[in-house]
Amino acid sequence: MAALLEIAEPGQSQVKEACVAAAVGIDLGTTNSLVAVVRPDPATGSGKPRALEVDEGSTLLPSVVSYREGGAAIVGREARRRAADAPSDTIASVKRFMGRSSADPETKRLSPYRFAEGESGTVRFEVAGRTVTPVEVSAEILRTLKARAEERLEMPVRQAVVTVPAYFDDAQRQATKEAGRLAGLEVLRLLNEPTAAALAYGLDKRSEGTFAVYDLGGGTFDISILKLVEGLFEVKAVGGDSALGGDDFDRAIAQLLLDEMGATPSGPRLVRQAIDAARAAKEALTTRDAVELELTGFRRTLTRAQLEEAIRPLVERTGPPSRRALKDAGAEGKLDGVILVGGSTRVPAVRAYVRELFGLPPLADIDPDEVVALGAAVQADLLTAEKPQHDVLLLDVAPLSLGLETMGGLVEKLILRNTTIPTSATQEFTTFADGQNGMDIHVVQGERELVSDSRSLARFRLSGIPPLPAGLARVAVTFQVDADGILSVTAREQLTGISQSITVKPSHGLTDEEIERMLLASLEHAEDDMAKRLLIDARIEAQRILRAAEHQLESNGDLLSAEERAPIEQAMRDVRATMEAADHRRIKDAIERLDHDSAEFAKRVMDRGIERALKGHAAAEFESGEMSEHAKKAYRALTEERAPRATGGGRRPQHTDDD
Amino acid sequence: MSEARATCWSCGAARAPADALCSSCGKVQPPAAGGGKDKFAVLGLPRSFELDAGELDERFRTLSRKLHPDRFARASAKERRFSLEQTTLLNESYRTLQDPARRAEHLLELRGIRPVSDTAMPEEFLEEAMADREKLLEAKMDGGKDGVEDLAAGIRKKRDAAMAEIGRVLREPEPHPADLSRVSELLARLRYYARYLDEAMGRGPEL
């Protein structure tokens, strides 16, 4: 790191810290994805989250990825424009396939894609001469968001809170985390979307009470019941359907069109066009009563009444999970409000249904597209900032029950759905055969009684049980769910103390080898992507060091003679000149020269800072920790050296334990 | 109650084993060995069946604010682990105390009384239960919603009576051991009533 960037001025530490890297909130949506960030307002010091413009001036990046033969993937509006011409190479709504197996009904629905068989039964798309997994496609979206956020913020983005539907199961959560890793992001937390929305909403409106968040997006439906008390957001119950959303509305209308046209079998291009026409009609019918549809010469008028009839069965599917969540939360008749989230809640028929369902007029005064990302940004700030902008805390729940397979293919539930996390539970099992020396542990997720109806999460075997008559050996199985909602399981034989434990990886997920291979592949394919990334990084770095240099020359220029100043200014001009070039190495070289030429200057500035600190100007900042680590060390060295312990000992730094 | 002492791992100050945070330096502490045995102590409440729900909620919120892992996202691995353990214990204790039946069960457990297993119930109760279930099945077969509803109402009455009796015994300052065994049996009945009502009301993954 350049020495000039290490200098912290008293009182400016926050700005300096903020310059190092940003932690963002990402809403990885079915239809659109967004990135938001909490930045303290320099004037007021308060930090409101805001969504960043990431695609052609919009905060919405369409979650569409288009692959080209031999080239880097295209993401966003440009990809969406390509969809009609390259329907099978352009993947939209990839979220619907996250963590699903190739046998999942989702792959059988109306779609223009070509599917390939995967090694571990994972969904794979055939695109532009290769196969990609949903995780890789999602990683492309995340990579784009990361890069564009870095451009807007002019600083690297390394950490993110990524939102997932509350009703996502373990496999879908793990897949989302893997996508983040593949995109070069440290995923600080997977945050449930309705919780994120409530966070943004509650902070903005300063409301208290019990709220339902009705979140109908492009591909998922979530319902959450939360209680808000003095900055504490307590999730009481969640529910939903991870395969229900606006996409299904589009497909229902598209199917109607294709049936009327008698177009069977319909090729991928026609299917894509029908779905696009359906979506446009649906959106237009939000404000109009009838709309004219055209599909390869076939014309038809679609009225709002017809649309509502076509989607009614789908909208009504949100009823049972909503009622169940209300009952689980004990909130029937006690709601203070219903918050609408997700683009599909713009459909008038959906709003009418929500009003009927809850007996309350729904609230939608924060943009339902942005609200989730804004909440995620607040949580990212909470988890990374030394002094978070908002004093809030989220208490979330396990969305689905977790259990074990027992005799006869039955599920023994250890942790019930809607249990506040982190949590743990232990259950004892005995052997059923004489001399049995091992026990198979099969971990399942879901509400059903039979293993065959549940989601299989993991299997492992505890071996080395001492040979005893049936029923005498006792195995204690412990489930621990952490604040991320990630489950780990430990099995321990009580007599011998033999134990086995695992962190659950989904049975339908990707193997570690597959992930490695994908990481490598993404590097190969993204050769030009990589160059672009390096270039952006280098430009950001250059801007930062130039700004630092300008600032220091302005405030501490008197430390330099004219002869000393000239080479620094020359080096700065060089950096500026190379920034226009498309070669990151040249920029890096220029930065290094500037760093070298300004090293002596940086040292003098630092010394002056310390001198001032010793005079007491900065003592307060030191005490309150508002000084860079570098400056602190120097300060400490000087105070310890110059001030005899007997008199100056009161100001010894406290070390924090970091094991 | 024996008051064993413990010391803070960070500053070495003496502290009560049930304290989640050191009163001297404020650092989060590991749960005591066998900690959480007394779920009332975890929430800083006296062992009592009578409980102010508002106060319980308030204590849970206050402790959550201090102990939750999100508060320790930037702390050392050691503190993160303690915070996870303490919060897990807190959540579990709160869940137990919130529900009157589980609270009663926990009070018995603290007095060293093990719960009665469902199969060890008196013969007459098991026979009564069998008869109840048959009636429910018949009512369901008839398809009459009213029939099922009437049966459920009858069971609810029995449930409320059992709960009231449990409360009466546990409110006594020094309940008689025979009364406590009676509570244990009543709790087994409550579990049965709960299952019956689930079945009658058609509990499933969806409503």
pLDDT digits 0-9 by tens, A530-572: 666 677 778 878 888 888 888 889 888 899 998 999 999 999 9
- What pLDDT was estimated at residue A321? 92
| Gap between the Cα atoms of B29 and A444, Å rounded | 33
Radius of gyration of chain B (CA): 22
Q: Which of A178, A193, A247, A541 is catalytic?
A: A193
On whether residue B172 sits in a domain, the answer given is yes
Residue by residue, DSSP assigns A448-473 as -SBGGGSEEEEEEEEE-PPP--TTTS
Question: How many C-beta atoms lie closer than 10 Å to residue A219's C-beta?
Answer: 27
The crossing angle, in degrees rounded to 10, of helices B123-142 and B145-171 is 150
Q: pLDDT tens, A126-161?
A: 998 888 999 999 999 999 999 999 999 988 999 999
On whether residue A170 sits in a domain, the answer given is yes
Active site residue A178: no
- What pLDDT was estimated at residue A370? 93
Burial A629-644 (b: 16+ CB within 10 A, else e): eebbebbeeebeeeee
| Gap between the Cα atoms of A576 and A170, Å rounded | 49
Name the band, by pLDDT with cuts 50, 70 and 90, for residue A374. very high
Q: pTM surpassing 0.95?
A: no
Residue of B nearest to A385 (CA): B74
Active site residue A95: yes
Active site residue A336: no
- What pLDDT was estimated at residue A454? 81
| Gap between the Cα atoms of B24 and A233, Å rounded | 29
Identify whether residues A490 and A556 lie together within a single domain: no
The answer to whether residue A604 scores a pLDDT higher than 70 is: yes
- Between B207 and B165, the higher pLDDT residue: B165
Name the band, by pLDDT with cuts 50, 70 and 90, for residue A626. very low
- Between A220 and A203, the higher pLDDT residue: A220
| Gap between the Cα atoms of A651 and A514, Å rounded | 54
Distances (CA, A) of B174 to B116, B167, B178: 21, 13, 12
Burial A196-216 (b: 16+ CB within 10 A, else e): bbbbbbbbeeeeeebbbbbbb
| Gap between the Cα atoms of B49 and B92, Å rounded | 17
Identify whether residues B122 and B84 lie together within a single domain: no
Q: Which of A323, A420, A422 is opposite residue B207, by nearest beta carbon?
A: A323
- What pLDDT was estimated at residue A629? 53
Run of H or E including A64: strand A64-66
Q: Residue A539 in 3-state DSSP?
A: helix
Measure A417 CA to nearest chain B CA, in Å. 11
Q: How big is the A-B interface in CB pairs under 8 Å?
A: 68
On whether residue A260 sits in a domain, the answer given is yes
Identify whether residues B74 and B126 lie together within a single domain: no
Identify whether residues A272 and A301 lie together within a single domain: yes
On whether residue A2 sits in a domain, the answer given is no
Burial A610-619 (b: 16+ CB within 10 A, else e): beebeeeebb
Identify whether residues B24 and B69 lie together within a single domain: yes
The answer to whether residue A269 scores a pLDDT higher than 80 is: yes
Run of H or E including A428: strand A423-430
- What pLDDT was estimated at residue A497? 77
| Gap between the Cα atoms of A365 and A376, Å rounded | 18
Out of A414-418, A626-630, B4-8, least confident range: A626-630
> Both tokens of residue A534?
């390096």
Identify whether residues B160 and B87 lie together within a single domain: no
Question: Which residue's entry shows tokens 């291979």?
Answer: A517
Name the band, by pLDDT with cuts 50, 70 and 90, for residue A461. confident
Q: What is the mean pLDDT of residues B115-131?
A: 80
Q: A162 forms bridges with which residues in the sheet?
A: A26, A190
| Gap between the Cα atoms of A651 and B15, Å rounded | 27
- What pLDDT was estimated at residue A506? 43
Measure A609 CA to nearest chain B CA, in Å. 28
On whether residue B109 sits in a domain, the answer given is no
Identify whether residues A646 and A544 lie together within a single domain: yes
Name the band, by pLDDT with cuts 50, 70 and 90, for residue A577. confident
Identify whether residues A465 and A390 lie together within a single domain: no
On whether residue A383 sits in a domain, the answer given is yes
- Strands A393-395 and A402-406 turn out to be unpaired
- Between B207 and A542, the higher pLDDT residue: A542
State which residues form the domain around A167: 13-244+317-395
On whether residue B159 sits in a domain, the answer given is yes
CB A374, CB A201: distance < 8 Å? no
| Gap between the Cα atoms of A553 and A601, Å rounded | 9
- What pLDDT was estimated at residue B23? 85
Identify whether residues A185 and A227 lie together within a single domain: yes
On whether residue B145 sits in a domain, the answer given is yes
On whether residue B2 sits in a domain, the answer given is no
Measure A416 CA to nearest chain B CA, in Å. 12
Identify whether residues B127 and B193 lie together within a single domain: yes
Identify whether residues B25 and B83 lie together within a single domain: yes
Name the band, by pLDDT with cuts 50, 70 and 90, for residue A46. low
Q: pLDDT tens, A80-132?
A: 999 888 999 999 989 989 888 777 777 777 778 888 865 557 788 999 888 89
Identify whether residues B91 and B130 lie together within a single domain: no
Identify whether residues A539 and A613 lie together within a single domain: yes
Q: What is the mean pLDDT of residues B73-97?
A: 92
- The count of structural domains within chain B is 2
Out of A402-406, A551-555, A626-630, B94-98, least confident range: A626-630
Which of A144, A157, A136 has its CA nearest to residue A79?
Answer: A144
On whether residue B105 sits in a domain, the answer given is no
Which of A386, A395, A396 should we substitute to test contact with B (largest number of B Cβ atoms within 10 Å)?
A: A395
The answer to whether residue B136 scores a pLDDT higher than 70 is: yes
The answer to whether residue A493 scores a pLDDT higher than 80 is: yes
On whether residue B107 sits in a domain, the answer given is no
- What pLDDT was estimated at residue A354? 96
Question: How many C-beta atoms lie closer than 10 Å to residue A654's C-beta?
Answer: 5
- What pLDDT was estimated at residue A171? 81
Q: Which of A393, A395, A447 is opposite residue B205, by nearest beta carbon?
A: A447
Q: Which of A320, A382, A423 is opposite residue B88, by nearest beta carbon?
A: A423
On whether residue A575 sits in a domain, the answer given is yes
CATH number of the domain to which A228 belongs: 3.30.420.40
Burial A370-391 (b: 16+ CB within 10 A, else e): bbbbbbbbbbbbbbbbeebbbe
Identify whether residues B90 and B146 lie together within a single domain: no
Q: What is the mean pLDDT of residues B10-37?
A: 83
Name the band, by pLDDT with cuts 50, 70 and 90, for residue A263. low
The answer to whether residue B125 scores a pLDDT higher than 60 is: yes
The answer to whether residue A223 scores a pLDDT higher than 80 is: yes
CATH number of the domain to which B37 belongs: 1.10.287.110
Identify whether residues B134 and B94 lie together within a single domain: no
State which residues form the domain around B149: 118-200
On whether residue B108 sits in a domain, the answer given is no
Active site residue A146: no
Q: What is the mean pLDDT of residues A184-194?
A: 91
Q: What is the mean pLDDT of residues B27-51?
A: 87
- The count of structural domains within chain A is 4
CB A627, CB A621: distance < 8 Å? yes
Identify whether residues B19 and B94 lie together within a single domain: yes
Put simply, the answer to whether A188 touches B73 (Cβ < 8 Å) is yes
Distances (CA, A) of B29 to A27, A291, A627, B87: 36, 65, 29, 11
Name the band, by pLDDT with cuts 50, 70 and 90, for residue A28. very high
Identify whether residues A476 and A456 lie together within a single domain: yes
- Which residues in chain A touch residue B94, judged by CB atoms under 8 angstroms apart? 420
- A230 exposure class (CB count in 10 Å sphere: 0-12, 13-18, 19+): exposed
Q: pLDDT tens, B149-199?
A: 888 899 999 999 999 999 999 998 888 888 998 999 999 999 888 888 877
Q: Name the amino acid, one letter, at B47.
A: R
On whether residue A440 sits in a domain, the answer given is yes
Run of H or E including B101: helix B100-110
Q: pLDDT tens, A48-76?
A: 899 999 999 999 999 999 999 877 899 99
Taken in order A522, A527, A529, A533, the sign of the CA dihedral is positive
Which of A657, A655, A618 has its CA nearest to residue A635?
Answer: A618
Put simply, the answer to whether B205 touches A446 (Cβ < 8 Å) is yes
Identify whether residues A490 and A416 lie together within a single domain: yes
Identify whether residues A49 and A149 lie together within a single domain: yes
- What pLDDT was estimated at residue A17? 42
Q: Which of B70, B78, B92 is opposite residue A483, by nearest beta carbon?
A: B70
The answer to whether residue A625 scores a pLDDT higher than 90 is: no
- Between A452 and A276, the higher pLDDT residue: A276
- How many residues comprise chain A? 659
Identify whether residues A254 and A323 lie together within a single domain: no
Identify whether residues A75 and A95 lie together within a single domain: yes
Q: Which of A376, A395, A414 is the last residue of a domain?
A: A395
Identify whether residues A423 and A276 lie together within a single domain: no
Taken in order A379, A381, A385, A391, the sign of the CA dihedral is negative
Identify whether residues B137 and B88 lie together within a single domain: no
Q: pLDDT tens, A300-340?
A: 999 999 999 999 999 999 999 999 999 989 998 899 999 99
Q: Which of A315, A335, A351 is the last residue of a domain?
A: A315
Q: Which of A9, A55, A95, A248 is catalytic?
A: A95
Which of A370, A317, A375, A368 has its CA nearest to residue A345?
Answer: A368
Q: pLDDT tens, A381-438?
A: 999 988 887 888 999 998 888 999 987 788 889 999 899 999 999 988 888 788 888 8
Out of A174-188, A279-293, A486-500, A607-621, least confident range: A607-621
> Both tokens of residue A236?
């009481």
Residue of B nearest to A426 (CA): B92
- What pLDDT was estimated at residue A3? 65
If phi > 0 it is left, if psi is from -120 to 50 it is alpha, else beta; for residue A184 that is: left
Q: pLDDT tens, A641-655?
A: 333 333 222 333 333
Evaluate the omega torsion of the peptide bond into residue A265 and state whether it is cis, within 30 degrees of 0: yes
- Which residues in chain B touch residue A232, judged by CB atoms under 8 angstroms apart? 61, 64-65
Q: Which of B64, B98, B132 is the last residue of a domain?
A: B98
Identify whether residues B94 and B127 lie together within a single domain: no
